Amino acid sequence: MKEYTGLIAEFHDYFTRDANACVSLGVDKHLDDLPDPRLEAAATEVSAGEELLAALRSFPRDGLTFDEKLDLDLAAMVVAFALFQNTYTFNGKTALEQTPTAGDDISDGLFLMFINDPRPAEERLRNITARLEKVPMYLAQLLNRLDTPVERWVAIDIEKVQGLPELFQTICDWAEEEKFPEFERLAAARRQAEAALAHYTGKLQAMPTTTNFFIGEEQARKLIQLRGIDKSLEELHSMAAKFLRDTATELEQLRCKLAGKYGLRPGTTVEELQHFLNQQYRVDLKTNSLTDVIDRYKQEREKILAYLEERRLFPIFAEQDMLIMQTPAFMAPSIPAGAMVSPPPFRKGTKRSMIYLTLSEELLDEHTELSIPSMMIHEGIPGHHLQLAAAANHPSVVRRHFDALEHAEGWTTMLEDYMLDIGYMGELTDEARFIAKRDIARLGARVAIDLYFMTGDVRYLDVGIEVDVSSKDPFENAGRLLQKVTGYVAGRVQAELNWYSEERGYPLCYLAGNKLVWKLKADMIKAQKGKLEGLELDREFHSLYLQSGNMPLSFLRRVFEYEKLVNKGLDTPY
């Protein structure tokens, strides 16, 4: 149907206006440019988005297939969310006016071109050079956009900007190795960019700032709805409190069991047991270098892959790859322990992900023989990498654009338990589950803090954990809860809070997604009783989940219903 195809093409064009989006999507447009930080550009984007949204909502559904109807609904949701991001306000101003973004806007495209772009080096370096030449103008426009930015976000951006010269040096070293014919142009652009960044930092530090970043309850409800999560703030808060109670019960049972196994005193606390296990199962740093930790992750990747291939539990395809590396300095402020950048969905060929690991002496307790398998399962195969590499192969243009966070995080957090349930850790299952439950308790804290950071209502931090939340500083209150629940070191606590504050509605997606995934599977078990069971049911569930592409779990349920794997109207409790 030509008209439908044309509308989807308009949708694709709308989401490939941004220069960095094109790089991350694998689309060869605007590669010489930086994002346009001007408010006028945002206003133009809003106007075009409103027209596109009206066209998507009014398009006739008659004669369309199930997938086409689903894609129209998904497209309308993602456009509506983009419009909200550009128009919601707090402190009487839009978020754009209060959010300095130089660190991300400059580094994102440059780094991806450097590390995960199959084009010839000379071609990429020309794009990078052109971008660096535009840094001074970009920064001047960004400073003009900002009006009383949020104090915490200023500190985050300055820290990221301070890491950019290291990236620039790495790129110049690469250019020398490649004998880039325009090296002098690149070097001049680098010098100008670094001088402009120093000027930007000084101007940003001199700006008046605000500590208030709350958007209020009404806007918080709308944001969650536009993320595709059909739960109220109250339901999410109750879910978090119950999850933390249930997790505490499991931790207590494991504490008693493991204290006996290791001959520890009966009164050993959860925190003491966690410290003991972290020391007992520290990674052997053979060369006394943090790169040994990365080598250990690579070994675990191969071990997991062999385990899964033997059991044929997931549809693992050949044309995929993972690059595991230490988190670059300019990204570390917002990546607490690990993260994954998904394969560019519109790029042909091997679907390659990048897995970042934030390493330091302080954070070694986050990377032990008990936690490395869980992290690799979460970020790699069968977790984010497999899910998003599979989604990047989906034929739907809309689904390759869609960023369904609770779909992705629900999948990965479900797998952390599932892989223990099927025996991956063998004799260390109890130890690994204890560490995993201690870590996954963050999901409950994330919901509470996300709701608090959005609404400003400190009552959302009341999830049954005894902690002082009387400070006037919301980061202090939130940090106390997160540290109490998880035992994270101070550096990780602060990095977690950084991205909680900036990525509104994302932190709560972990627990919401986890519960929705388990509910979907429980409903499938009920509907398929006597037909599909055990590992055969697991394989069918995994296959359809991965091969349906990105979408909110409320939409994925429609796919399972359409495929007659789940009955309509089932109401299995969370």
Q: How many helices (H) and strands (E) does the chain have?
A: 26, 5
Sign of the dihedral defined by the CA atoms of residues 106, 109, 113, 114, in that order: positive
Provide DSSP, 517-569. Answer: HHHHHHHHHHHTTTTS-HHHHHHHHHHHHHHT-S--HHHHHHHHHHTTSS-TT
How far apart, in Å, are the Cα atoms of 208 and each of 110, 154, 311?
A: 30, 10, 59
Token pair, residue 116, equals: 């995960």
Q: How far apart are CA 327 and CA 310, in angstroms?
A: 32
Q: How far apart are CA 388 and CA 380, in angstroms?
A: 10
Q: What is the pLDDT of residues 144-160, one digit of tens each?
A: 999 999 999 999 999 99
d(CA 417, CA 437): 9
Determine the Cα–Cα distance for residues 431 and 370; give it in Å rounded to an integer.
7
pTM, to two decimals: 0.91
- Chain-centroid distance of CA 19 in Å reads 20
Query: Which two three-digit tokens encode residue 517?
Result: 């995934």
Whether 292 contacts 284, CB under 8 Å: yes
Tell me the C-alpha distance between 503 and 265, whole Å.
42
pLDDT digits (tens, 9 = 90+) for 515-560: 999 999 999 999 999 999 999 999 999 999 999 999 999 999 999 9
Residue 198 φ/ψ, nearest 5 degrees: -65, -40
- Taking the mean position of all CA atoms in its chain, how far away is CA 305? 23
Contact criterion met (CB below 8 Å) for 479 and 494: yes
CA distance 438 to 258: 14
pLDDT by residue for the chain (574 residues), tens digit each? 459 999 999 999 999 999 999 999 999 999 999 999 999 999 999 999 999 999 999 999 999 999 999 999 999 999 999 999 999 999 999 999 999 999 999 999 998 998 889 899 999 999 999 999 999 999 999 999 999 999 999 999 999 999 999 999 999 999 999 999 999 999 999 999 999 999 999 999 999 999 999 999 999 999 999 999 999 999 999 999 999 999 999 999 999 999 999 999 999 999 999 999 999 998 887 777 777 888 888 999 999 999 999 999 999 998 999 888 887 776 666 566 667 788 999 999 999 898 887 776 666 667 889 999 998 999 899 999 999 999 999 999 999 999 899 999 999 999 999 999 999 999 999 999 999 998 888 899 999 999 999 999 999 999 999 999 999 999 999 999 999 998 888 888 998 999 999 999 999 999 999 999 999 999 999 999 999 999 999 999 999 999 999 999 999 999 999 999 999 875 554 4
Give Cβ neighbours of residue 122 (< 8 Å, ≥ 6 apart): 178, 180, 181
Both tokens assigned to 199: 């000027």
- What does the block give as tokens for 463? 């999830």
The letter for the amino acid at 155 is: A
DSSP 344: -
Three-state secondary structure call for residue 295: helix
